[in-house]
Amino acid sequence: MQINDDFTTALPGDSETRNYPRQVYQSVWSKTQPVAAAAPKLVSHIPELTSLLDIDVSNPDAAHIFTGSAISKTATPYSMRYGGHQFGNWAGQLGDGRAIALGEVNDKNGQHWTLQLKGAGPTPYSRQGDGYAVLRSSIREYMCAEAIHHLGIPTTRSLTLCTTGETIPRDVFYDGNVTMEQGAIVCRAAHSFIRFGNFEIHAAYEETDLLKQLADYVIKRDYPHLGQPGPAVYQQWFREILQRTANTVANWQRVGFVHAVMNTDNMSILGQTIDYGPYGWLEEYDPRWTPNYIDNSMRRYSYGNQPEIALWNLYRLANAILPLFESTEPLEEVLKEYRGTYDQIWNKIQANKLGLQDYDTSDKNLYESLWTTLKSTGTDYTIFFRQLAKVTPEMQEIEIEIQLKPALYNPEEFKGDIAAGFMQWVTQWQACTARTDKDKRLTTMLQTNPKYVLRNYLALNAIDAAETGDFSLMENIMKVLRTPYDEHPNEEGFASRRPDWATTRPGCTMLTCSS
């Protein structure tokens, strides 16, 4: 693996090379040296990617490379400058406060990647933060990126997980209770880590030249099929960002993933899932659910809000790249397409979740009553669809009940109006599925509805074990998450409903950005 400096040679950097927190102007990135870890240890890697990138993890230097103490002579480590809207408000300069890119690499197929260390020390963008990351949050990012990828959803990737041998203070609930946690560094890989916020910062400071250079760089590098940058290409580029974003979010909805911090600095210009913080997975179906403790009252980033928040963020991006256009019209035209684009993808997903091949408007009521029925009692979003796949058009009430009860958190509630509601809905659904071929229905349902997701309590169990030095549970869970649509008869436990102890345990359903 040869790390090169494609990014830092292509785009203007900060003339100040000392590393202290500050406002940076007129630059896309700042040179940033990682801080050497006390006792770096490589504890896990993703073989598919290390092999693709020709990385020898058995090399004793690997732990040093992936914690940043062995820097390639051909590269310039850097942190990126960006801004963003956080929880609806312009937050000014944010930037890579705890991320340092090692540089760029090409894989065996000639595709480019950027390698980035999360938690390798302070950068000019660290503000009050320390620039480090703890094992708990590193495992959450490491596992989830892999889970999302294998669910077939665009995402940045995990490459390696190293412990640093350091201890880091964290006040998880911002209440003055500081605990010392183990330090760790995830090296993640993506074709680009550029965010909506990278454009917003140049727009906010009227750095139109930089804005254009950055847009042209992204187009030439990651959207080359669009052709040479120019007015028509900029519009088409924005359209593709919008389509990719809609696709990613619709697929989050499909699998019940809640990102929980959809600030514009956490929106990838490639439309990928990026920055795994206090994310969570739906247990009971509830559109108002968010695992993010600090968003509990507003619920801005709750499950049900994600599609509209993506549009809100696209408006922010449109505003930022406006200087590339002569008028607002080309951008407005594209923004108006969002709901149609999103609905088209989501409607197909809804149909496929139910084993129907295509969305038919005459089935609208079937979908609407599905969501109200699921909400009528605590119904596990993931288990429900897998169990539904076992229901056939001929099945009678008793058999249906046997199939559906395992999805309920309070099976004793399956009586009266609640049971009647479910039965009425299933009967309606049975009538619709009778239209489609039996095998095709089953295959569609099993390929659309995963059996295994990174349940909130599974991540916590993996963290608890890893904090004692045992990474085997983490690896076992990740193994199953690599084929999440398959049955794994020996690992049924990883598909279980949330256990009672996890209902109130912080770190399962109550998380913060503290990482």
- Which residues are the active-site residues? 265
Q: How far is the CB of 154 from ligand AMP (least distance, A)?
A: 18
Q: Which residues sit opposite 160 in a β-bridge?
A: 45, 187
Q: Report how far residue 415's alpha carbon sits from residue 418's, in angstroms, rounded to the nearest whole number.
A: 6
Candidate segments 50-58, 121-129, 308-316, 347-355, binder of ligand AMP by CB under 6 A? 121-129
The residue (of 82 and 457) whose beta carbon lies closer to ligand AMP is 82
The CA–CA distances, whole Å, from 276 to 72, 113, 137, 382 equal 27, 19, 8, 20
Partner in contact with 263, chosen from ligand AMP, Mg ion, none, beta carbon below 5 to 8 Å by kind: ligand AMP
Partner in contact with 277, chosen from Mg ion, ligand AMP, none, beta carbon below 5 to 8 Å by kind: ligand AMP
Q: Which residues sit opposite 90 in a β-bridge?
A: 85
Count of positions (residues) in the chain? 515
Question: Is 382 an interacting residue with respect to Mg ion (CB under 5 A)?
Answer: no
Question: What angle (nearest 5°) sits at the alpha carbon of residue 437, between those of residues 436 and 438?
Answer: 110
Q: How far is the CB of 248 from Mg ion (least distance, A)?
A: 16
Question: Pattern 437-476, binding to ligand AMP, x per CB under 6 A?
Answer: ----------------------------------------
Question: Is 94 an interacting residue with respect to ligand AMP (CB under 6 A)?
Answer: yes
Judged by CB under 5 A, how many residues of this single chain contact Mg ion?
Answer: 2
The CA–CA distances, whole Å, from 280 to 267, 411, 453 equal 17, 24, 10
Closest CA to 155 of 164, 165, 145: 145
CA 303: distance to chain centroid?
13
Closest CA to 282 of 360, 202, 375, 357: 375
| Whether 14 contacts 24, CB under 8 Å | yes
The residue (of 27 and 266) whose beta carbon lies closer to Mg ion is 266
The residue (of 193 and 223) whose beta carbon lies closer to Mg ion is 193
Candidate segments 172-180, 266-274, 425-433, 490-498, binder of Mg ion by CB under 5 A? 266-274
Question: Is 83 an interacting residue with respect to ligand AMP (CB under 6 A)?
Answer: no
| Whether 42 contacts 72, CB under 8 Å | no
Question: Is 32 an interacting residue with respect to ligand AMP (CB under 6 A)?
Answer: no
Q: Report how far residue 419's alpha carbon sits from residue 136's, in angstroms, rounded to the nearest whole number.
A: 40
Q: Report how far residue 107's alpha carbon sits from residue 111's, in angstroms, rounded to the nearest whole number.
A: 5
Candidate segments 126-134, 173-181, 312-320, 332-340, binder of ligand AMP by CB under 6 A? 126-134
Candidate segments 146-154, 267-275, 282-290, 296-304, binder of Mg ion by CB under 5 A? 267-275
Question: Is 96 an interacting residue with respect to ligand AMP (CB under 6 A)?
Answer: yes
Question: Is 92 an interacting residue with respect to ligand AMP (CB under 6 A)?
Answer: no
Question: Is 37 an interacting residue with respect to ligand AMP (CB under 6 A)?
Answer: no
Q: How far is the CB of 98 from ligand AMP (least distance, A)?
A: 4
Start-to-end CA distance of the chain, whole Å, equals: 30
Output the six-digit token pair for 177.
């209770």
Q: How far is the CB of 264 from Mg ion (least distance, A)?
A: 10
| Whether 21 contacts 125, CB under 8 Å | yes
Partner in contact with 193, chosen from ligand AMP, Mg ion, none, beta carbon below 5 to 8 Å by kind: none
The residue (of 146 and 275) whose beta carbon lies closer to Mg ion is 275
Burial code (b: 16+ CB inside 10 Å, e: under 16) for 177-209 equals: eeeebbbbbbbbbbbbbbbbbbbbbbbebebee
Interacting residues with ligand AMP (CB under 6 A): 94-98, 125-126, 129-132, 261, 263, 266, 275, 277, 513, 515
Interacting residues with Mg ion (CB under 5 A): 266, 275
